[in-house]
Amino acid sequence: MEYRKLGGSGAVVSNLALGTMTFGDEADEATSHQLIDDYVAAGGNFLDTANVYSAGISEEIVGRWLAKNPAEAEKMVVTTKARFPMGDGPNQLGLSRINLRKALDASLKRLGVEHIDLYQMHAWDALTPIEETLRFLDDAISAGKIGYYGFSNFLGWQLTKAVHVARAEGFAAPVTLQPQYNLLVRDIEFEIVPAALDADIGLLPWSPLGGGWLSGKYKRDEEPTGASRLGEQPDRGMEAYGPRNAQERTWSILDTVQQVADRNGASMAQVALAWLAAQPAVTSVLIGARNQKQLSDNLGAANLKLSAEDLDLLTTVSAPQHNVYPYGDKADQQRHRNIAGSR
Domain assignment of residue 342, yes or no:
no
Domain assignment of residue 55, yes or no:
yes
H-only helix segments in the chain: 29-41, 57-68, 70-73, 97-111, 130-142, 156-169, 192-198, 234-245, 248-264, 268-277, 292-299, 308-317, 329-335
Domain assignment of residue 343, yes or no:
no
Total domains, the chain: 1
Domain assignment of residue 173, yes or no:
yes
Domain assignment of residue 267, yes or no:
yes
Domain assignment of residue 341, yes or no:
no
Strands 77-82 and 176-178: unpaired
Which pLDDT value is given to residue 173? 98
Please identify every stretch of the chain with a pLDDT value under 70, giving residue numbers as ranges. 224-240, 246, 329-343
Which pLDDT value is given to residue 343? 42
Domain assignment of residue 340, yes or no:
no
Report which of 27, 87, 96, 98 is spatially closest to residue 62, judged by C-alpha positions.
Answer: 27
- Per the annotation, the verdict on 53 as an active-site residue is yes
Give the global pTM: 0.92
Report which of 4, 8, 276 is spatially closest to residue 166, judged by C-alpha positions.
Answer: 8
Tell me the CATH number at 138: 3.20.20.100
Q: Which of 3, 39, 53, 148 is catalytic?
A: 53
Residue 107 DSSP SS3: helix
CB atoms within 10 A of CB 313: 18
Report CA dihedral (223, 225, 230, 233) to the nearest 10 degrees: 110
In which domain, by residue range, is 316 found?
Answer: 3-335
Question: Do residues 278 and 7 lie in contact, with contact meaning Cβ atoms separated by under 8 Å?
Answer: no
Domain assignment of residue 191, yes or no:
yes
Cα-Cα-Cα-Cα dihedral sign, residues 266, 303, 5, 71: positive
Which pLDDT value is given to residue 241? 72
